[in-house]
A and B are shown apart, each in its own frame.
Chain A
Amino acid sequence: MNEATTPVGEPAPMGAAPTTGLAGGETTAPYAKRLRPGIYRRHHYLAVVVFVVATAVLAPMFAESRSTQFLVNLWLVYSITGIGFYWVFGLAGRFAFCQTFMMALGGYMGAWVAQSSLGGGFLVQVALGVVLSAGVATAVGLLVRRAQAFYFAIATIAVAEMGRVFFSKAEWFTGMNGTRTGIPPIRLFGRDYIAESEVFWIFLGGLALVLLLAAVIERSPLRRDAVAARDNALVAAVAGVPTGRAQLTLFVLGSAMGGLSGALMGPWTGTTGDTSFGIELAIGIFLMLLLGGIGSMWGPVVGAAFYVAVPDLLSGFDKYATIVYGALLLVTIILMPEGIVGGLGRLRLRLEGRWRRMRPKGAVDAVG
């Protein structure tokens, strides 16, 4: 029995395909190239570097007025929380409604630390905000770890509602009427970052770190486990995938990103209030992810840009903004279920396919 199962029991792990392919020599090289799993072909880190450099160069050129700079910063912060939600909802498939609660939690914690006798620098505030939201997410995730689909959604709605009531009552933590004002500005390495154009660099740095983490996750077994658990929990569990652990880890990491973006917003705007993390933003985060594309870590970044830009494009039609958001979400789901990034990917595949068909057959494999 043992001898019989050994070759089957030890199949080449997923990462082994390119190794054999690369060692295969000249004749098999084009073939091996095609056999490489996508994970090795996609240059995640390179993409992050290109994105950060491009944003660093283009954003200051594009954003001339103060209000545009504000929108760019808002985009960076929303991208952070959006990527966190991508892990929770996109990868782990957890229907969580508490991302804005996590943002508020991180924001209040940062503000509380900044204004308490503890003091602590900007980094300490942000770190404690992240730690608190991750801690609460761990507790929530562990308590309702067995809840599936809608029950998880309902449990997280309960968490968000409990948070809302708590934030409005616990004025020692959240300030007068649930709003903390006068939060000191970002101070890092002996320098204040007050102007929008200065804050931009801090936020871009934060987003760059989050994107790097996202790239690590994108290439990690954690992603594979979570996707397997999302697509078919029973089969994944039978196959030995630690489904619960993968989902919990991504839920905690994603919520921590919510806390991070909340904690960044306080010192930037000077206030932290429950109103900035209301139901509009909760639905907005769904919109960012679905509009941008649920299948890619770049989806929420593109979606957040859209979400931030829409009110600006619609200026003068402010009162229609909610309807536009809702209609946009509906149209996206019906016509473009893969979002903008997914749609672009499909377009690329189609163009490549056409291009390949135009070329002589021998040349096709060499291009890969």
Chain B
Amino acid sequence: MEKFVALTASGVAYGAVLALVALGFIVLYKATGIINFAHGDLVGLGAYLAVWVVDDLNLPSVAGYLVALALMAVVGVVMERVVRAPLRDKPVLVVVIATLAMAIVIRGLIALWQGSNPKTLVSPVGNRALHVAGAAIAQQRVVIVVVATVSIAGLILLFQRTSFGRQVRALAADPDTAVLMGVRGTYVAMAAFALSAVFAGLAGILVAPLSAVDLNFGFSLMVTAFAVAVVGGFGSLGGVVVGALVIGLVQQLVGGYLWPEYAGLLPYILMFAVISVRPEGLIVVERSRL
């Protein structure tokens, strides 16, 4: 029972982080049609920025995190200017390769700036743990779930209730018509890049205290988030949240009980299996991109 509770708790927390990562790149995908292969490195960058702000600038942790997130928004806008703006007329695939190039640049800059030694980010709640049914659950995991739930709820409200959300949905449904109807594609794209980078940074900051921050930190999260998007459907935000929880729980529970050595393989197997059986993802949303 203790093992089950502990594994479930870490599965839910992991799923919450995955949901943040996946929603980050899906927001961008909906607004611009671009799959951002630099998203994983943005997750890493968020964590490094948080380490820098807290350790080197000596800001209190929560305020420091907000500063780091603001910086991430700037990074997102810069990325739109560098990667998307000059390539607007090119096929989306070209822009995607450009994001790949951006990923290498970000990674190289981090290595130059912070070195290749792993860093640690201290959680604002420290190393305290909750005890539920005999199982110890790190409070950071509770923080992750709470912060992620609030952010995701905010994102869904933003999508359903605001003008920005309507514009993004219009662009996702039919970019040409949306632009003809007066949606300013460039502004929406810049905002989406910023929002996406902030979500990436938030995911990085939340998960960093649970592990060491190194250069490959974001990459596996991004690839697992691809699995989430494939399982949850590229179009729907709700599907993504469900997909994230499923993948998080499957990886922790099945991995924890049956196959601990190869637990890391499960998302990839799931992802590959879904694509081979349903080449357009498990949940196909009509009239969304792709």
* Interface of chain B, main secondary structure: helix
- Which residues of B99-127 are within 8 A (CB) of A? 100-109, 111-112
Given the interface pairs A319-B112, A323-B105, the reply to whether A158 lies near B227 with Cβ below 8 Å is: yes
State which of A155, A286, A319 has its C-beta within 8 Å of the C-beta of B271: A155
Given contacts A149-B93, A319-B111, whether A326 and B101 have CB atoms under 8 Å apart is yes
Contacts of B35 in A (CB 8 A): 150, 153
**CB–CB A162/B272 < 8 A:** yes
User: Hey, what's the 0/1 contact readout for B77-107 against A, CB within 8 Å counting as 1?
Assistant: 0000011001100100110111011111111
Chain B 253-284, CB within 8 Å of chain A: the 1/0 string? 00000000110110011011001100111000
- Given the known interface contacts A165-B262, A326-B103, the answer about A150 and B279 at a Cβ–Cβ threshold of 8 Å is no
Chain A residues near B275 (CB-CB < 8 A): 144, 147, 151-152, 154-155, 158
User: How far does the Cβ of A321 sit from chain B's closest Cβ, in whole Å?
Assistant: 8
Instruction: Tell me the bound Cα distance from A283 to B40 in angstroms.
Output: 15
The 8 Å CB contact of A283, one of B93, B96, B100, B279, is B100
Bound complex: CA A164 to CA B156 (Å): 36
Residues on the B chain within 8 Å of A326, using CB:
101-108
> Does B290 have its Cβ within 8 Å of any Cβ on chain A?
yes
| B6 within 8 Å of A (CB atoms) | no
Instruction: Digitize A149-184: 1 where CB-to-B-CB distance is under 8 Å, 0 elsewhere.
Output: 111111101110110011001000000000000000
Interface flag for B65 (CB, 8 Å): no
Cβ of B290 and Cβ of A150 under 8 Å apart? yes
- Cα(A279)–Cα(B261), bound, Å: 23
Report chain B residues within 8 Å CB of A279. 219
Q: Which of B83, B98, B279 has the most CB of A within 10 A?
A: B279
Q: Is A327 an interface residue (CB 8 A)?
A: yes
A147 to B261 Cα, complex, angstroms? 30
B: which residues have CB within 8 A of A?
A: 35, 82-83, 86-87, 90, 93-94, 96-98, 100-109, 111-112, 219-220, 223, 226-227, 230, 261-262, 264-265, 268-269, 271-272, 275-276, 279-281, 290
